[in-house]
């Protein structure tokens, strides 16, 4: 589909259990997301509701593949560390991973000492990360499986 100026755009029919709604993807967004648009491919749509008397439409401001939703929308990343088995150089090993993945999500370390106590440690408030798949895998190689929680 093309705009009056001839720029490419599209209309997506978004379906859920309640019904179907049109999503208008204008050229500036469409050029960024067109590779994500496949028939029956699940996507996360961010946008503004355009509601009038006869119909409702969503004006898309962003589209994400479902596998990236947690990564992009996470505001807090909790890294669980078992203090009884953590290597002494853990902080030195995690630091370059955190430095490399700067972003907008807050980092919290949950230090567990089984049978004794659990402490939540927040580093400098300016330390924020982008918790992509590579970040999670790198941290879990050091701290163990399922030690990174995105919320």
Lowest mean pLDDT, pick from 33-47, 94-108, 130-144? 33-47
148 is written with which tokens? 């990174």
Q: Check: pTM over 0.85? Answer yes or no.
A: no
- How far is residue 62's CA from residue 29's CA, in Å, rounded to a whole number? 7
Using the predicted structure, report yes or no on whether residue 29 has a pLDDT greater than 90.
yes
Overall domain count for the chain: 2
What would the pLDDT profile of 67-115 be if each residue is shown by its tens digit? 889 888 999 999 999 999 999 999 999 999 999 999 999 999 999 999 9
Angle, CA of 79, 82 and 86, to the nearest 5°: 100
142: containing domain? 74-150
User: What percentage of the chain exceeds 70 in pLDDT?
Assistant: 100
Q: Tokens 């700067």 belong to which residue?
A: 102
Q: Are 125 and 105 in a shared domain?
A: yes
Report if residue 3 sits inside a domain. no
My answer on whether 130 and 104 are in the same domain is: yes
Distance, CA of 38 to CA of 36 (rounded, Å) = 6
Q: Does 21 fall in a domain?
A: yes
């Amino acid at each position: 589909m093309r705009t009056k100026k001839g720029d490419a755009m599209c209309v997506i029919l978004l379906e859920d259990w309640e019904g179907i709604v049109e999503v208008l993807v204008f050229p500036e967004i469409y050029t960024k997301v067109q590779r994500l648009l496949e028939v029956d491919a699940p996507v996360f749509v961010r946008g503004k509701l355009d509601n009038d008397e006869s119909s409702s439409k969503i004006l898309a401001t962003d589209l994400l593949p479902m596998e990236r939703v947690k990564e992009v929308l996470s505001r807090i990343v909790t890294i669980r560390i078992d203090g009884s088995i953590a290597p002494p150089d853990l902080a030195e090993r995690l630091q370059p991973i955190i430095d490399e993945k700067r972003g907008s999500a807050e980092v919290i370390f949950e230090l567990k000492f089984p049978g004794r106590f659990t402490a939540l440690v927040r580093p400098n408030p300016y330390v924020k990360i982008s918790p992509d798949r590579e970040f999670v895998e790198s941290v879990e190689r050091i701290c163990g499986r399922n030690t990174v929680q995105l919320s």
